[in-house]
Structure 1
Amino acid sequence: MKFEFGRAAGRRLGLHAGAAALALMVLAAPAAGQAAADPVREPGTVVADKALPVAAEVGGAASGARQLTYWTEGPTGAPALSTGAVYLPNGTAPAGGWPVVSWAHGTTGVGDDCAPALGFDVTSLTRDYVSAWLAQGYAVVATDYVGLGTEGTHAYLHGRSEGRSVIDMVRAAREVTPELSTAWVAIGHSQGGHAAMFAAHEATKYAPELDYRGAVATGTPANLELLFPLGGPGFPNLGLNGLTAFAAYVVDGLKVARPDLPFDDYLTPAGRDLVEASESLCFLPLRERAGTFGVGEMISRPLDNELFRSALRDYLAVPTTGYDRPVFIGHGLRDQTVPYPLGAKLAADLQLTGQPVTFRSYDAFHGPSVFEALPDTTAFVRSLFGTA
């Protein structure tokens, strides 16, 4: 079943030694003629450029792969470092450079060991999906997000910082890779769909020197700010894949972005233990650790108060107005990780406010839906670059 509406117009202190040393040099070096200059921490500025670990390579479709560490914005609004990977297609770049796909990955975890550009790969999705875009002649740049492989803890599903990591990854890649065009699109799945939507919302304003064309978001965890306040003692097991692990990551991220929130007062002892474990365990081990432990056993008091509702909106809510380039949203009807109604409501809200949205559904589960959507997203992205 497919349908469409709208316009189709288109913590860890794990910074690796080399990156840390170079970052310290950047921070310490004064500008000419100044005794003590401010550090160079402009968004997109590269502080480390090295070979990509073998485990992070994607195979024969890529050439010139490298790992970057670059400045972007953290969850509190302060400058922060992110790592990411750059993959170039085989062959010679066209006139004007390779068009760019900025890929936002799905949930891997929040600890340094869970960073894809450092070699972590929870499934074949990243390798196979990135290869599919490379084979079509797009360069792929892939952020890890702030805190995955860099100092501090990754604030999972913090929309603003994840979106800016996606945008600044394009800036960083272009700083060291002259073969890249200024023209780019954001593409993300699951957590990455959430990040891609935030990137889409502010790309032209935040990085006007780039030629942002549009975005693709599949399996997007939208409207979670409406669901989390329902959490509390006795919250039922909804049968969703990894729900308690995802909740632990969100709580951990909120504690990073909003240290003023008294979250420990709202967690059971077992809940606090799980959130602490989430800081180091990647997704599959954390899901195994959670076992049958439910959200209702994790939270000791209802979250349905204005303090937490407001914090959750600021942290999670995907904007539903203000998009100035086309957006494609896809979702699997059988999705048991991010239920289909969440994505459908996001698309409906965008359509109702007159946003340039294309929405399609697929008879697929969460992971496979990104590949089921590939023929449609391929055509959509080609239309954005004028090569359809």
Structure 2
Amino acid sequence: MPVRLPIRRGFASFLRRGTLAGALTLCTTLGLTAAPATAETLTSGQLSGVELLDAAWSFGEAATSLGLTYGTVDQRDAPARASAGLYLPPGLPPLGGWPLVVWAHGTIGIGNDCAPSHRPQSERNRSYFNQILDNGYAVLAPDYQGLGTGGNFSYYNTDVEAHSILDAVTAVRSLPIPLSAKWVLVGQSEGAHAVMSAASLYNRSGGAAPGLSGVIATGLRSNPAKSLREMFRRSSTGSDNQVGYAGYYLASLEDRHPGSVAPYLSEFGTRFVDKAATACLSDLVATAAGQRPAALVADPDRPTPTFETDLVDLVGYQEDGLPTDLMIGYGTADIDVPPTDTPTYATTLQSLNPGVRITLNEYAGKDHSGAFLASLPDALSFLNTHLH
């Protein structure tokens, strides 16, 4: 298990005197202690803890992997803790610090034990981020509030995702680690929604986390109310993961408005949504035994009486006033998040945001994960343009 290192003034001086890993080891040896801050006493973006992450949870090209704990807000706008991983590339930082990529992860679950920074990385993510790190970029990866710090994550909650990301950037700036002033957001699937949420909040956040200079979103669900309504129909097709996504959405909607979902679930749906609160995606999908989202509700044509309204309330973000350039990527063979509306959505965003450049990249024949990997050369080009 990793050793948790509380923050205190001595920590910074140790980091300045030697290598990062050596300094952390020295901190551990000396047994530095400090009174831990409670969630109620933490301010948003306040760093409260650092740990060395197990190499099994990291990327092969990361020279140093740290876990961070910091203050943010939860789905009820109450002070809360969140966690993140910070992965540094090998070698010495360039003048101005390592250019910073902020990674927003896709669906992994909403239970506390699903935090990506404390689980082995997927083969897909290792392939992608080993190349990002090998190109000299540091990677900051928020877990989203509720994952890894107790409680449950409010799935696809615009405010939770946005604050988790912006507060993580603020928190990492308080470490004496040389990182560039500019940073770029990269998100896949649910993470694509998260980076759009963070970009939407950015201009309204009162100057929090300055330096955002680009956004990359792949596998973006561009019209959740429409696509999810279709996903619940008896005739719907798609990946096996869709029943897991549906379970997490329903759990999040019920948490947000108690009584808005539970009375309309089937017997199977009641058990499944209850299990969704703790089970990570692959385990949750396995328990469905091939059943589709339609099996979760009594009336697949009307999952709940206020389904679309509640979804828009949960996932909606401001689409005009984007603060920086945006790259959207999608695979034509994506059956997890069908890209039917993606080209039209990119055109709409460009009309709403004439002051920034919105690029749409199609990856022919690629599925949900395949498009993410196929986007890497375009992403590296985007990062080079927007971080150097």
- Give the C-alpha shift of residue 154 in structure 1: 0.9
Q: Where do 4+ consecutive residues of structure 1 move more than 4 Å?
A: 16-19, 229-232
Cα distance in 1 for residues equivalent to 2:4 and 2:151:
15
In the alignment, what sits opposite 2:353? 354
Query: Does the 8 Å contact 1:105/1:126 carry over to 2?
Result: no
In the alignment, what sits opposite 2:373? 371
- Give the C-alpha shift of residue 261 in structure 1: 4.1
Cα distance in 2 for residues equivalent to 1:24 and 1:136:
39
Partner SS for 2:361: strand
Query: Does the 8 Å contact 1:225/1:317 carry over to 2?
Result: no
Unaligned segments of structure 2, at least 5 residues: 7-32
In the alignment, what sits opposite 1:217? 217
- Give the C-alpha shift of residue 204 in structure 1: 3.9
- Give the C-alpha shift of residue 208 in structure 1: 4.1
Partner SS for 1:330: strand
Does 2:118 correspond to 1:118?
A: yes
TM-score normalised by structure 1 residue count: 0.84
Instruction: Show the 5 A alignment for 1:1-388.
Output: 25-27=36-38, 39-59=40-60, 61-121=61-121, 123-206=122-205, 207-208=207-208, 210-229=210-229, 235-256=234-255, 258-301=256-299, 302-303=302-303, 305=305, 307-355=306-354, 356=356, 357-363=358-364, 364-385=366-387, 387=388
Q: Quick one: structure 1 residues 18 and 156, their matched pair in 2 at CA, closer, same or farther if it must change by over 3 Å?
A: farther
Q: Quick one: structure 1 residues 318 and 125, their matched pair in 2 at CA, closer, same or farther if it must change by over 3 Å?
A: farther
Unaligned segments of structure 1, at least 5 residues: 1-15, 29-38
Cα distance in 2 for residues equivalent to 1:318 and 1:341:
20
Deviations 1:29-71 (A, max 9, x none): xxxxxxxxxx532212122111112221211x22221101111
Cα distance in 2 for residues equivalent to 1:237 and 1:24:
53
**Aligned positions, number:** 354
Cα distance in 2 for residues equivalent to 1:196 and 1:255:
24
Cα distance in 1 for residues equivalent to 2:279 and 2:341:
27
Q: What residue identity is the alignment partner of 1:275?
A: V
Query: Does the 8 Å contact 1:228/1:303 carry over to 2?
Result: no
Partner SS for 2:93: coil
Query: Does the 8 Å contact 1:111/1:154 carry over to 2?
Result: yes
- Give the C-alpha shift of residue 220 in structure 1: 1.2
Cα distance in 2 for residues equivalent to 1:75 and 1:95:
39
Deviations 1:217-264 (A, max 9, x none): 0011221123445676x63232334111100011112223x1344311
Q: Quick one: structure 1 residues 132 and 288, their matched pair in 2 at CA, closer, same or farther if it must change by over 3 Å?
A: same
Q: Quick one: structure 1 residues 284 and 209, their matched pair in 2 at CA, closer, same or farther if it must change by over 3 Å?
A: closer
Q: What residue identity is the alignment partner of 2:65?
A: A
Deviations 1:125-146 (A, max 9, x none): 2222222211122110001111
Q: Quick one: structure 1 residues 24 and 153, their matched pair in 2 at CA, closer, same or farther if it must change by over 3 Å?
A: farther
Query: Does the 8 Å contact 1:114/1:120 carry over to 2?
Result: no
Deviates further, 90-99 or 360-369: 90-99
Q: What residue identity is the alignment partner of 2:38?
A: L
Partner SS for 1:176: coil
In the alignment, what sits opposite 2:13? none
Cα distance in 1 for residues equivalent to 2:382 and 2:251:
36
TM-score normalised by structure 2 residue count: 0.84
Cα distance in 1 for residues equivalent to 2:110 and 2:34:
22
Q: CA RMSD in A?
A: 2.4
Q: What residue identity is the alignment partner of 2:298?
A: S
- Give the C-alpha shift of residue 342 in structure 1: 4.0
Deviations 1:274-317 (A, max 9, x none): 01111222111111111222222211242464x43322102123
Cα distance in 2 for residues equivalent to 1:225 and 1:190:
15
Identical aligned residues as a percent = 30
Cα distance in 1 for residues equivalent to 2:250 and 2:224:
12
Q: Quick one: structure 1 residues 204 and 62, their matched pair in 2 at CA, closer, same or farther if it must change by over 3 Å?
A: farther
Query: Does the 8 Å contact 2:166/2:209 carry over to 1?
Result: no
Cα distance in 2 for residues equivalent to 1:52 and 1:94:
24
Cα distance in 2 for residues equivalent to 1:58 and 1:100:
16
Cα distance in 2 for residues equivalent to 1:374 and 1:23:
42
In the alignment, what sits opposite 1:4? none
Q: What residue identity is the alignment partner of 1:377?
A: A
